[in-house]
Structure 1
Amino acid sequence: MSTKQSKNNNLFYGIISGVFFFFIVLPILVIFKEALDAGGLGDLSNFLNTNTLKSIRNSLSLGVLVVLATTMLSAPLAYLLAKTPLSKYKWIDIVLLIPFMTPPYIASMGWILFFQKKGLLEQLVPISATFNSYFFSLGGLVLVMSLHLCPFMTTILKNALLNIGDNLEDSAAVAGAGFYQRIVKIYVPLLLGNYAIAALLVFVKTLSEYGTPATLGARIGFEVFTTDIHRYATMSPIDFGKAATLSSALVSICLVMWLVQSYITNKRSYNLVGGRSKASGAVVGNKSSIVVVGWLYLGGIIFCGVGIPYFSVLATSLIKLRGYGIAIDNFTFAHYQELFVAGSAGLSAIVTSVFLACSAATIASILGFLTVIVLQKKSKFKKLIESEVLLPEMIPNIVLVIGLMILWNKLYSYWPIYNTLGFMVLVYTLMFLPYAYQYTYSGYMQLSNNLFEAARMSGASSLQILQKITLPLLLKSIMTGWMMIFIIVFRELVAASLISPPNTLTVSTYIVSEFSQGSVSLGMSMAFICVIISTTVLLFLNRFQRKR
């Protein structure tokens, strides 16, 4: 390559890096500048006041408790799905993903409706009224968030267990080691690195979560980072300085956690070789007893993670008059019909959410594909561009949204897109660009260079290779990313509640609005449609990926 071509390439990559810097990195820097201007970072009194300290303490304690509770739920489940006869039932993996794919705020509303006074559980089991109130506590909040994150940690631990050959456990059993000795001496040391990664990610996800603290946490007066940031940015008097101060603290903690996770991944993880493990029978008791115990435990997890919230949402959506409770003659589909009446707020919210989801998913998928293609050429800007593209994945969504709000509010006189649907599309595109990039990049890494070399030898131009080889082979990866982005944007809450234009509702803000204003059945009708769409897309994605 000539010096002139090299300079042109560097200029091209520099421009791309500058564009991503403006749209992704600059909003984060604006948050820190806003915090400095407000005295938030330079004056410790802003962090030492009672409300801020309480928010920080609540967030960190909630993160630790959710990690511990998620571990208690996930560790036995991962072992059952990797080292016992339950591992042959592939449908279990799909069912266990449902709680993770269910919007947390909808699951929280389901739990609230189930345990509240005169709620569904009390109607079904009147004696439960004596202990229902115990759910509305920090313990209940931890339980709901742990059930949501349980599939995430379970998947990481299960995949690690599958890479541990059964010969290790069999040898220990032959040597006389009991079940608990084998767990402590074999599995705990080998899984420590993977568990540390999973625990750190669960901790970060807990700190970043808004939906559950905003619904269930608000009922018990438990304020955390995200709810305080949201309150400062939306409730009068609006204080972007305090929102930026808390955001800067939150993003700093999350980035430190990501650095620790990266260190553990590179330095403290074992490379376990031995192929996919099969159940060997080297478990406590005989196979029939472990299967019975396993099914009971799995049933309990599914009942709590899927059964309770889905039953609550569905039952409430069908109730005609809440005062009459659960009764056959008190069920109606009128709430669902009302959602689709022409000109109704519900139909408008659905149309708006579909437009936002389609637009953001399409733009992000195109940008992700082009970025992957462009970064295949060597450049000193390659690592920088990749880091910029993946940055939104490493910081809480609410922080990125706050940064974009502050930045584009300052730029309003030059480019007045703030407070419009176009701005919402921009925000969602930037938030989920990492999804599109990673799915496309994963697919590209599976392509052999021989394909491209053969095409070049046949005289194909770069554009022809892109059209005839690269794009067709990557289409499934691109569509997988598109569907994931679509379903997440369709039901996303935090950005919609912060940046929706006046008198504009999305599916998520409609649900929250109806739930908080008393039209619970109408809100749960929309929520049930939302979770059914999420589950359907999850099943379709699973089948789509199996065919790849």
Structure 2
Amino acid sequence: MSALNRLRHMDFWTAITVLILAVLGLLLILPILRVLTLGFVDADTGGFTFGNFVEVFTRNYYLNGFKNSLYVALLGTLGACLIGIPLAFFTARFVVFGKTWISTLAILVLVAPPFIGAYAWIMMLGSNGFITNFFALFGINTPTIYGAHGIVLVFTLKFFPFIYLMTQTSLNGMNKSFEDAAENLGCTPWQRFTKITLPLVFPAVSTGAIICFVLAIADFGTPAILGRGFRTLSTIAFSAYRSELGGLPTMAVTVSIVMMAMSMLALFAQRRILAKRRYASALTSPPRKQRITGWRNAAMHIYCHGIVLIAMLPTLVVVHTSFLKTNGPVFIGGYGLESYERILRTAPEAITNSFVFALSAVVLITIFSALISYVIVRRDTAASGAIDFLMMVPYLVPGVVMAIGFVTTFRGGPMDVIGTAGLLILLYFIRRLPYGVRSTTSSLRQIKPSMEEAAVNLGAAPARAFLVITVPLILPGLIVGALMSFITAINELSSTLILYDGGTITMPVQIYLAVLDGEFGLAGALSTVLLLCTGACVYAVFRFAENRDSAFL
């Protein structure tokens, strides 16, 4: 039978599987392979070489970037653990008033773009920051936010919610009889925590730590805004790409490969550590929250609420700044709406583009999330397993890497048929697709396939059974995944900076450029618009998640 005949006789879900693999091959595998291939190409001769990697690991410029990336990523992750683990322990084991408020603020911190936090800290602790100026009135010179310590601070306060949320979930599901047994044997509270509790929740802590580490390695906006000469691999890759415009971006690609390797090695190390030990236990004794009194209770509440308020401080500063009266880039005292008037006058295209690109990507994500989730959950084949594995790849590949892969694959060659706007939409789609797939997959796993099978047995075509029966049942998961995808897509900076042109500038890029130009009022107004969109989506996610949970009770 010819290939054409086989295609005609292919059943619906086999054809969908082939379509999914083709899309992932074109938009995910091909750009990454292109990046990996260019790392071994000599920019002058076009021949095969290891010289690019030799240069990266022997030249101080690149070695310092490697060390700096590792330094801020490790310290940022450590800081997130030192803040997030106690916060999770207190809220899971003791009665903490306002626990819902704490979780909500933590999630808002999580979804706000990190480069906005970096910009806000400049407003507070920069050379002319209001905290810096306040202490200067008393003759006290405070260290500025610029440099490695500032980047670590932003990473710590930005990423600790990953540790907090995952560790709290694990603590809530832990068998408390182990802790009770340790207490009966005379262990102190600190010994119980370090020898019993912490090892049992290590999988959750390590998973959150890996996410923090990977995001810190990939982050471009924070070191670009706060670095002031402190270069990381992400800023070096971006600079190398800009300097190699017109030729093969071999050094940018080589640096990007090193970033990918660091993330993958961290994930591999975590998997190896978890594989050596068992962490499972039966939940025969659910944890019960204790009520404490006195100074310990006061200290616990001050810590829990203080951490999330400090983490939210940059967001509050950004919103406050947006309402300060300005004359161009200069603040002239008092409050006004000049900054918002300016964005409507000078940056309407950035606002429009951000919404158009993000919403277009979300439409694609929603369609493919439904199809991919069905293939993963309902089709037990090698192809579905491969698709499930490929859904992990966008988490590990930094935005700079994917953007360079898109440029080298779809520009200047036989596939150069898509404009910049189309490339940005496709890039947002493939990078944020896992958010939609994971959410929809979770919904689909809770639904028995009997209703779909009944519809097919009654004569409905598989496509019709899917649209009429399955899609309405997984709609809450689709909506939550779409909202999470929109949040991350509209805040995308690093990949957009590489691809955008004059007609496709977005809000994150406009904010980044405004901060570099000292236009803090304009940056504050745009950031506030972006934060309002993000906050509205977070609220919607909570509402849909609550509705979905109640539907299955």
Deviates more, 1:152-161 or 1:79-88: 79-88
Q: In structure 2, what is the equivalent of residue 190 of structure 1?
A: 200
Q: In structure 2, what is the equivalent of residue 208 of structure 1?
A: 218
Distance in 2 of aligned mates of 1:134 and 1:119: 9
Residue by residue, what CA displacement relative to the aligned partner does 1:483-538 show, whole Å, maximum 9, x if unpaired? 11112211211122110123432111111122222322112111112112212221
Distance in 2 of aligned mates of 1:153 and 1:247: 26
Q: In structure 1, what is the equivalent of residue 403 of structure 2?
A: 401
Q: Normalising by the residue count of structure 2, what TM-score does the alignment of the two structures yield?
A: 0.89
Deviates more, 1:185-194 or 1:138-147: 185-194
Change (3 A) 1:160 1:127: farther
Q: In structure 2, what is the equivalent of residue 277 of structure 1?
A: 287
Task: State which of 308, 324, 335 in structure 2 corresponds to 1:319.
Answer: 324
Distance in 2 of aligned mates of 1:140 and 1:428: 29
Runs of 4+ with >6 A deviation: 4-7, 322-327
Q: In structure 1, what is the equivalent of residue 258 of structure 2?
A: 249
Determine whether 1:290 maps to 2:290.
Answer: no
SS of residue matched to 2:382:
coil
More helix by proportion, 1 or 2? 1
Task: State which of 164, 176, 188 in structure 1 corresponds to 2:186.
Answer: 176
SS of residue matched to 2:205:
helix
Distance in 2 of aligned mates of 1:154 and 1:248: 30
Q: In structure 1, what is the equivalent of residue 3 of structure 2?
A: none
Residue by residue, what CA displacement relative to the aligned partner does 1:231-259 show, whole Å, maximum 9, x if unpaired? 11124656611001111111122222233
SS of residue matched to 1:505:
coil
Deviates more, 1:358-367 or 1:312-321: 312-321
Distance in 2 of aligned mates of 1:534 and 1:204: 22
Change (3 A) 1:336 1:465: same
Determine whether 1:225 maps to 2:225.
Answer: no
Change (3 A) 1:471 1:372: same
Q: In structure 2, what is the equivalent of residue 20 of structure 1?
A: 24
Determine whether 1:118 maps to 2:120.
Answer: no
Gaps of 5+ in 1: none
**1:151 CA drift (Å):** 0.4
Deviates more, 1:505-514 or 1:352-361: 505-514
Distance in 2 of aligned mates of 1:479 and 1:43: 44
Task: State which of 138, 155, 160 in structure 2 corresponds to 1:145.
Answer: 155
Check conservation: 1:319, 1:326, Cα contact below 8 A: yes
Q: 1:33-48 counterparts in 2 under 5 A?
A: 33-38=37-42, 39-40=49-50, 44-48=54-58
Distance in 2 of aligned mates of 1:400 and 1:97: 26
SS of residue matched to 2:510:
helix
Distance in 1 of aligned mates of 2:403 and 2:266: 20
**1:447 CA drift (Å):** 0.5
Q: In structure 2, what is the equivalent of residue 371 of structure 1?
A: 372
Q: Normalising by the residue count of structure 1, what TM-score does the alignment of the two structures yield?
A: 0.90
Deviates more, 1:27-36 or 1:117-126: 117-126
Change (3 A) 1:334 1:177: same
Distance in 2 of aligned mates of 1:406 and 1:129: 54
**1:364 CA drift (Å):** 1.4
Check conservation: 2:403, 2:496, Cα contact below 8 A: no
Residue by residue, what CA displacement relative to the aligned partner does 1:273-320 show, whole Å, maximum 9, x if unpaired? 327522135xxxx4343321111112321232102x123212322222
SS of residue matched to 1:17:
helix
Change (3 A) 1:93 1:536: same
Determine whether 1:302 maps to 2:308.
Answer: yes
Residue by residue, what CA displacement relative to the aligned partner does 1:77-122 show, whole Å, maximum 9, x if unpaired? 1111111111773232111112111100001100011112332224
**1:53 CA drift (Å):** 0.7
**1:543 CA drift (Å):** 2.0
Distance in 1 of aligned mates of 2:260 and 2:139: 41
Change (3 A) 1:6 1:194: farther
Change (3 A) 1:526 1:129: farther
**1:19 CA drift (Å):** 3.8
Distance in 1 of aligned mates of 2:327 and 2:294: 45
Change (3 A) 1:417 1:468: closer
RMSD, matched Cα: 2.8
SS of residue matched to 1:330:
strand
**How many residue pairs align between the two structures?**
533
**1:267 CA drift (Å):** 4.8
Q: In structure 2, what is the equivalent of residue 415 of structure 1?
A: 416
SS of residue matched to 1:133:
coil
**1:43 CA drift (Å):** 5.4
**1:410 CA drift (Å):** 4.1
**1:201 CA drift (Å):** 2.5
Determine whether 1:49 maps to 2:59.
Answer: yes
Q: In structure 1, what is the equivalent of residue 361 of structure 2?
A: 360
